[in-house]
Amino acid sequence: MGSSHTQYPQPVVPKDIYAIVDCNNFYVSCERVFDPSLRDIPVGVLSNNDGCVIARSNELKALGVPMGAPLFEWKDKFIEYGVVVKSANFALYQDMSERVFRSLREFCEEIEIYSIDEAFLRINIGHKRLIELASDIKNIIYQWTGIPISIGLANTKTLAKLANKIAKKNAEHEGIYLIENLQDPKHTTYVSPLDLDDIWGIGNKIAYNLRIYGINNIYEFLDADRHLLKQQQGVLLERTWLELHGIRCYPINITRSSKKGILCSRTFKRAYTEYDQVAKAVAKFADNACRSLRAQGSIASHVWVFITTDRFTPEGRYSNSHRSKLSQPSDYTPKITKTALAGLRQIFRPNHKYKRAGVFLDNISPKGQIQQNFFYQHDLQSERKHTSLMRHFDKLNQIWGKGTLKFANQFLNVPEIQEQALRSPRYTTRWEEIIVVKSI
Residues engaged in binding DNA (CB under 7 A): 47-49, 51-52, 54, 67-68, 70, 72, 114-118, 161, 197, 199-207, 234-236, 257, 259-267, 269-271, 288, 292, 310, 312, 323, 355-356, 358
Largest Cα–Cα separation, the chain: 87
Taking the CB of residue 205, how many other CB atoms lie within 10 A of it?
Answer: 10
> What distances in angstroms separate CA 299 from CA 259, 270, 326, 335, 353, one per listed residue?
11, 33, 11, 12, 33
Q: Which is nearer to DNA, 52 or 147 (CB)?
A: 52
What are the counts of helices (DSSP H) followed by strands (DSSP E) for the chain?
Answer: 14, 12
15: enclosing H helix or E strand: none
**Bridge partner residues of 319 (DSSP):** 308
Q: Which is nearer to DNA, 382 or 418 (CB)?
A: 418
Can you list the pairs that 78-82 forms with residues at least 24 positions away whose Cβ atoms lie under 8 Å? 78/44, 81/42, 82/41, 82/42
Q: How far is the CB of 199 from DNA (least distance, A)?
A: 7
Q: Which is nearer to DNA, 68 or 415 (CB)?
A: 68
DSSP 8-state symbol, 36: G
Q: Which is nearer to DNA, 323 or 395 (CB)?
A: 323
Can you list the pairs that 404-412 forms with residues at least 24 positions away whose Cβ atoms lie under 8 Å? 406/287, 407/283, 407/287, 407/333, 407/334, 407/337, 409/279, 409/280, 409/283, 409/337, 409/341, 410/280, 410/283, 410/284, 410/287, 412/276, 412/277, 412/279, 412/280, 412/283
Q: Which is nearer to DNA, 186 or 317 (CB)?
A: 317
Q: Which is nearer to DNA, 134 or 206 (CB)?
A: 206
| Rounded Cα distance, 337 and 286, in Å | 5
**110 SS3 class:** coil
Q: Which is nearer to DNA, 111 or 133 (CB)?
A: 111
| Rounded Cα distance, 355 and 49, in Å | 12
Q: How far is the CB of 259 from DNA (least distance, A)?
A: 4
DSSP 424-436: PP-TTT-GGG---
Q: How far is the CB of 359 from DNA (least distance, A)?
A: 9
Q: How far is the CB of 165 from DNA (least distance, A)?
A: 9
Q: How far is the CB of 205 from DNA (least distance, A)?
A: 3
| Rounded Cα distance, 124 and 130, in Å | 10
Q: Which is nearer to DNA, 176 or 264 (CB)?
A: 264
Q: How far is the CB of 37 from DNA (least distance, A)?
A: 25
Q: How far is the CB of 203 from DNA (least distance, A)?
A: 2
Q: How far is the CB of 66 from DNA (least distance, A)?
A: 11
Taking the CB of residue 170, how many other CB atoms lie within 10 A of it?
Answer: 14
Q: How far is the CB of 124 from DNA (least distance, A)?
A: 25
Q: Which is nearer to DNA, 87 or 103 (CB)?
A: 87
Contact 247, 156 (CB under 8 A): yes
